[in-house]
Amino acid sequence: MYSEMLGNKYFLARNYDNAAKNFQYALQADPINKSAKKKLIICFTQIGQIEKAFESFYQLVKEDINFIIETDPVADDCPCAELTVKYGNILPYENESYDLKLMLAMLWLYCSAEKSLEFFKRILVENPGDPRIKEITSLIEEKIKPTNKPIH
Amino acid sequence: MAEQKNIRDEILDSIGEGLLTVDKDFKINFFNRAAEQITGFNREEVLNQFCKYVFRCELCESKCPIGLILESGSPLYDFKSSIEIKDGTRKPVKLNAAILKNESNEPIGGVISFRDLSEIESIRKDAGSAGNFFGIIGRGKAMQDIFSLVKEIADSDATVLIQGESGTGKELVANAIQATSKRKSKPFVKVNCAVFPETLLASELFGHIKGAFTDAFKDRIGRFELANEGTIFLDEVAEMPFQTQVQLLRVLQEGTFERVGESIPRKADVRVIAATNLKIDEALKRSKLREDLYYRLNVIPIFIPPLRDRREDIPYLVKSFIKEYSKAYNKEIDDIEDSALDVLMNYTWPGNVRELENVIEYLVVRAKNMTIRLENLPSGIGSSLSTEKQISEFKKENPSELLQLLEKHKWNKTKAAEELGIGRTTLWRMLKNLKND
């Protein structure tokens, strides 16, 4: 008995495995359901399916990057802040695994586009062959450029 | 459209039960006036907030009521829980919950209605507090022994079999066992085995997979999975079909079960409390209950005596129910005439405490004075004739015992009447008759 609502319930309880199953079901029925996709990306990162998370992330960023950037961690009960803290405030240039940095690059976009950009720039250096990373980096750069905010 | 919404909101505001609805993200989108009064929150404070931060039901973290329905597909009725209100204290509530669906049958929200049980709980606590154990009234030895046993087994996960006639309070004893056990904060699932058709009980208990039978359109978890880490109460267990008894036996022996239509064993960490109103000897003889299951269930046996065998509790039960129903029906009834109490004491109560409770509710509803009188009693409950008959029998058979009893209590007639299980007026009449003789 899968449903987006049940996915939301599991997501609120941080039960990412069951939430992912329900969001995947919801997306089969309605592939343009951005809300389910946005949460599914986080679920995939937490159940070790980084490539699946990244492919969904790439699609959603291309489709509507603001939908992720404008996430309100409190109003949306988004776990991005607790998750980035969970991994110990890793910096982009630290000698950590590629997958971990890719995961943090995605998660940071939910709460800080600047931080996310730092990670994507670093990942681009390590993996210049993936056109998706280049495209995402450009899209984030474009988004935060007009604000002239300093990069932390 | 807006007018219709206003009318709907007005109607929902006029009801006494707290009511809230959530959208599919579990954000509150309606909160009625009674919900404001019960929780202390204004609707402006809670609208568009996640319900888990407002409603804070004790099960929000592990078993959200709406989540349970989404998982099981069955609505939740009269589910006892507690909520944290605005001032940080907890309130006991009884809640119902259901899912709201769109035209495509997809869940788009949920509705929870809840009743504040604080007053009823405090009345239950007040009513003869010394003889009140988790809402069970019993000052006599039989009931006090049961209360002691329940406290003794608080640390145990052993299976309990509660026996007793219909209406003796088997479910209340099960509640007390759960509430004192180490699993008290975990789910407590109740199943009346007699309610389900034979073919559906196994599916209800153990769940099924899609296609397991004609109406199994999707996977569904059973009550054992819902009760995981908690307790399950199997009422009328002897009404369970023989085949399902085998499956239950396996849960008790191995801690595993399979969903109907599936061959993957699943683990069940569930404490079982079972109850039956059948006479066990007969149930075994008539092969209604498997002998091996009986021995597995009967690790801790509890036998609740019928009310006719614990008449000493009747005055306290009567007092408690009068208080409870006077409050519920907003009446000021505080007493019952001795002669009326005598009749209640001498009636055989085939329906036990439940029947007594119904009679008191009837009396409270109909009472026009502050005291319940003999003439208010329903005609079926018996008449003063039966009381007189018993008086005459006692007088004939036990005149010296009566005198000894009065000596024992230093001629305190109230105490003597209590020990005899009769009212003071009856005792007075018996003494009068003795003098005449």
CB contact (8 A) between residue A8 and residue B26: yes
pLDDT at B127: 47
- Domain assignment present for residue A16? The answer is yes
A152: in domain:
no
| Phi, psi angles (nearest 5°) of residue B79 | -90, 120
Which residues on neighbouring strands pair with residue B191, listed in sequence order? B234
Which domain covers residue A20, as residue numbers? 4-145
> Hey, are the CB atoms on A13 and B107 less than 8 Å from each other?
no
| Cβ-defined contact of B26 to A3 (cutoff 8 Å) | no
- State whether A12 and B26 contact (CB < 8 Å): yes
Do B63 and B163 reside in the same domain of the chain?
Answer: no
**Residue B96 shares a structural domain with residue B152:** no
The pLDDT assigned to B388 comes to: 46
Task: Give the model's confidence band at A22: pLDDT under 50 very low, under 70 low, under 90 confident, else very high.
Answer: very high
- Residue B328's pLDDT is 81
B418: left (phi over 0), alpha (psi -120 to 50) or beta: alpha
Among the candidates B242, B275, B303, a domain finishes at: B303
**Residue among A12, A29, A75 whose CB faces B52 most closely:** A12
The CA distance from A74 to the nearest CA of chain B, in Å, is 10
With respect to residue B126, please indicate whether it lies within any of the assigned structural domains: no
Across the interface, do B218 and A1 touch by the CB < 8 Å criterion? yes
Specify the pLDDT at position B396: 46
Amino acid at position B16, single letter: G
Question: How many CB contacts within 8 angstroms connect chain A with chain B?
Answer: 46
Nearest to B248 by CA among B303, B294, B192: B294
> According to the model, what pLDDT value does residue B120 have?
64
Judge whether B424 and B413 are in contact, CB under 8 Å.
yes
- The distance of A3 to chain B (nearest Cα, Å) reads 7
Asked whether residue A39 carries a pLDDT value surpassing 80, the answer given is: yes
Question: Which chain B residue lies closest to A18 (C-alpha atoms)?
Answer: B71
Token pair for residue A141? 């750069």
ipTM of the complex: 0.81
Q: Is residue A116 part of a domain?
A: yes
Three-state secondary structure call for residue B212:
coil
Task: Please give the Cα distance from B343 to B340 (Å, whole number).
Answer: 5
Tell me which residue of B355, B349, B429, B368 sits closest to B394, measured CA to CA: B429
Supply the Cα-derived Rg of chain A in whole angstroms.
15
**Distance of alpha carbon B285 from alpha carbon B192, whole angstroms:** 23
Q: Identify whether the C-beta of residue B231 lies closer than 8 Å to the C-beta of residue B242.
A: no
CATH number, domain of B89, equals 3.30.450.20
The CATH number that applies at residue A37 is: 1.25.40
- Cα separation, B297 vs B283, in Å, equals 14
Nearest residue on chain B to A8, alpha-carbon basis:
B25
Nearest alpha-carbon partner for B32 in B45, B14, B50, B53: B14
The residue of chain A nearest to residue B62, with distances taken between CA atoms, is A13
Residue B127 lies in a domain: no
Q: What is the block-wise mean pLDDT of chain B (437 residues), using blocks of 10 residues?
A: 76 86 92 91 90 71 77 79 81 88 89 83 54 85 92 92 94 93 90 83 87 71 90 93 92 91 89 93 88 94 95 90 86 85 89 92 85 84 51 53 74 75 70 62
Residues of A in contact with B106 (CB under 8 A): 3-5, 29
Question: Considering its fold, how many domains does chain A have in total?
Answer: 1
User: Dihedral sign, CA of B162, B188, B238, B157?
Assistant: negative
Q: How many domains does chain B have?
A: 3
Least CA distance to B52: which residue of chain A? A12
Q: How far is residue B190's CA from residue B241's CA, in Å, rounded to a whole number?
A: 18
Domain that holds residue B317: 310-436
- One domain, residues B296 and B150: yes
